[in-house]
Amino acid sequence: RYGGRGIKVCSRWMKFENFFSDMGVAPKEKSLDRIDNDGDYSKANCKWSTSAEQHRNKSTNVVITYQGESKILTDWAKSLGLRVDTLWMRLKRNMPLEKALKPRQLKEP
């Protein structure tokens, strides 16, 4: 998939010694991650990240921008106290964003 998206490994890293010089030893429980998910593998665009950090950098994430703030769907749901699937279904049903991002109101007894 990377090649089809035009993502490459920088020529410097074709020699392992150069990659190692740039990135060093992988910290425990971390792996190589690109900062810009559409960018190449290079010293300027890579860092060591945890699995959780890498999941936030996937091209399949849904990014929502509301009132000048951009977050992935999961983070919007968490910050609003909503279930992720609830927010997803609201958006899938074309609910206006302002309404979709409102926590569910409990009915008075």
Q: pTM of this prediction? A: 0.60
Q: Which residues of 54-73 are buried (b: 16+ CB within 10 A; e: fewer)?
A: eeeeeeeeeebeeeeeebbb
Closest CA to 62 of 29, 84, 81: 84
How confident is the prediction along the chain (109 residues), in pLDDT tens digits per residue?
566 788 899 999 999 999 999 999 999 999 999 998 889 999 999 999 998 888 877 778 888 999 999 899 999 999 999 999 999 999 999 999 989 998 865 555 5
| Structure tokens given for 35 | 């900062």
